[in-house]
A and B are shown apart, each in its own frame.
Chain A
């Protein structure tokens, strides 16, 4: 049985973001890319699922040759093989999901892991879209997962608590922090990853239906007021919150 993990290649969260010269995307200068943090939870859960029930973990990523760095890291954690679905052009989530859905079908995978969100566009939609295109079940923002035969029980985070969702295979799970502790790649894993094959093919054709008109930086906030440097500032702070900000 194949277990697919979809991983995206994103700027490190500590990166300073500047708008590029096209006015629509970020300036790539000095930007370092990493495995999307939530996808690490997805990879870990896939490896655990394999350890428990057997199978083969396949990494799938849509993008350019640059995604190979991220794919190698996933392989170093212990995934068995990888597929890079190539497209040099920008794809919106709908188009990414189309490519992923085609590949998942071809792999005949019945358990598919995503991260809950890519920390670039912060969409949180690709997993659900892919599941819907495949007609598979889907549970998002999962912090606990149990798969028993065809039966799936997953806990997802909601406002003020958690929902326990029951569903069945085939299923798409989007991983939230808390689901597990992602393992570090061992030296052996890193060495082996170099030898593992990354299959490359063109991503299935798809149209974007989201067009970026422009990208811009948020207006800088007016400098705030330092109300004081000891307890004597407290009454003034309370007054400001009440009379100026009117929030209490």
Chain B
């Protein structure tokens, strides 16, 4: 069994859910060390419960915000010294940005967006979607050090609730060659890339003024609002909501597609959702081929009723 390092991602000093998943998944490779770059990250002690035998906080005031150069250097330097054979990231905006830089620094092969591993230990092979999920490949990383990014919401996060010590390492020479100077939040909304439930609308909604129906259903479910490219291109919804090949790839527990035909490029972004519901008035729409549950009817009739039913249940 080898040694595995997990890059633990934090935003605003809070550990991201995907990192708990990565720490849990890391156990199959051997002894797990969780390493987090940040300023004053909270709750790192809980990573022990997920399976980390050692938790390290690479600490610097310069790590308050993300710095691509700074995080990459500090983490790669630490990884080199630790002798880790496997390094895991989450396939998030930050993980995707960092993993290739760290891989080059470690002269390591990198497999991204992994959805499962075959076998245990450092010899395990990785399975990942390619061609927007139209095919999968099993890949083997042949370098001495192997780097993977794991698709969020795909590996289970499991804790026994225990807490451990946090090894704090002060980082002094932070490389600030590139640094985040400001974060512009999209107005208080849940992002499709992180949501566990998504309600997406397409051209079947007929106009931007009818998206209040989609938003109402999303609100009742605590869901994020998504969109097809057709409605993004038409300017009805912002690009940040676009799901699909040239939008975001999502794998929520529940994906509700309303008035979306299910073009191959849309399916590419959401077909790995655990449950898919389709509401479309055309029974031959391709979305029904991937839907677990479908209603063949006018969205304008179904949406208000569905929102009411969900509200009733949530109120119980």
For residue B197, CB closer than 8 A to chain A, the reply is yes
Query: B293 touching A240 by the CB < 8 A rule?
Result: yes
Interface residues of A in 177-235 (CB under 8 A from B): 177-178, 208-218, 221, 223-231, 233-235
The complex places the Cα of A228 from the Cα of B296 at a distance, in Å, of: 6
Query: A159 touching B181 by the CB < 8 A rule?
Result: no
For residue B205, CB closer than 8 A to chain A, the reply is no
One of B93, B101, B309 near A238 (C-beta < 8 A):
B309
Q: What interface size band does chain B fall in?
A: 35 or more
Query: B96 touching A124 by the CB < 8 A rule?
Result: yes
Query: B297 touching A230 by the CB < 8 A rule?
Result: yes
Query: B186 touching A160 by the CB < 8 A rule?
Result: yes
Query: B130 touching A161 by the CB < 8 A rule?
Result: no
| Interface of chain A, main secondary structure | mixed
Report A-chain residues with C-beta under 8 Å of the C-beta of B246: 13, 37-38, 119, 177
Query: A224 touching B294 by the CB < 8 A rule?
Result: yes
Report A-chain residues with C-beta under 8 Å of the C-beta of B274: 245, 247
Query: A14 touching B109 by the CB < 8 A rule?
Result: no
Q: What interface size band does chain A fall in?
A: 35 or more
Query: A139 touching B68 by the CB < 8 A rule?
Result: yes
Segment among A49-57, A61-69, A81-89, A165-173 that sits at the interface with chain B: A165-173
For residue B157, CB closer than 8 A to chain A, the reply is no
The complex places the Cα of A23 from the Cα of B111 at a distance, in Å, of: 19
The complex places the Cα of A140 from the Cα of B66 at a distance, in Å, of: 13
Closest Cβ–Cβ distance, residue A64 to chain B (whole Å) = 19
The complex places the Cα of A100 from the Cα of B293 at a distance, in Å, of: 47
Interface residues of B in 138-183 (CB under 8 A from A): 138-143, 177-183
Report A-chain residues with C-beta under 8 Å of the C-beta of B234: none
The complex places the Cα of A123 from the Cα of B149 at a distance, in Å, of: 10
Closest Cβ–Cβ distance, residue A130 to chain B (whole Å) = 9
Report A-chain residues with C-beta under 8 Å of the C-beta of B140: 210-211, 213
One of B110, B137, B139 near A125 (C-beta < 8 A):
B110
Query: B179 touching A124 by the CB < 8 A rule?
Result: no
| Interface of chain B, main secondary structure | mixed
For residue A155, CB closer than 8 A to chain B, the reply is yes
The complex places the Cα of A231 from the Cα of B303 at a distance, in Å, of: 9
Report B-chain residues with C-beta under 8 Å of the C-beta of A168: 177
The complex places the Cα of A214 from the Cα of B139 at a distance, in Å, of: 7
Query: A218 touching B135 by the CB < 8 A rule?
Result: yes
The complex places the Cα of A141 from the Cα of B180 at a distance, in Å, of: 14
Closest Cβ–Cβ distance, residue A5 to chain B (whole Å) = 18
Report A-chain residues with C-beta under 8 Å of the C-beta of B283: 226
One of B108, B179, B264, B313 near A165 (C-beta < 8 A):
B179
Query: B135 touching A215 by the CB < 8 A rule?
Result: yes
Query: B294 touching A129 by the CB < 8 A rule?
Result: no
Interface residues of A in 1-46 (CB under 8 A from B): 11, 13-14, 16-17, 19, 24, 26, 37-38
Interface residues of B (CB under 8 A from A): 66, 68-69, 72, 92-94, 96-97, 99-101, 103-105, 108-113, 125, 129-143, 177-186, 189-191, 193-194, 197, 221, 239-240, 245-247, 253-254, 264-265, 268, 271, 274-278, 283, 288-297, 301-302, 305-306, 309-310, 313
**Could you name 30 residue pairs across A and B whose Cβ atoms are closer than 8 Å?**
A13-B246, A13-B264, A24-B137, A94-B109, A120-B130, A125-B100, A129-B101, A129-B104, A132-B101, A133-B104, A158-B93, A161-B183, A161-B185, A162-B183, A165-B181, A167-B177, A211-B140, A212-B137, A213-B137, A215-B138, A216-B138, A224-B278, A226-B288, A227-B294, A229-B296, A230-B297, A237-B306, A238-B310, A242-B313, A245-B254
Known contacts A163-B66, A165-B178; can you find 8 more A-B pairs with CB under 8 A? A122-B129, A138-B178, A156-B97, A210-B141, A213-B139, A221-B289, A228-B296, A229-B296
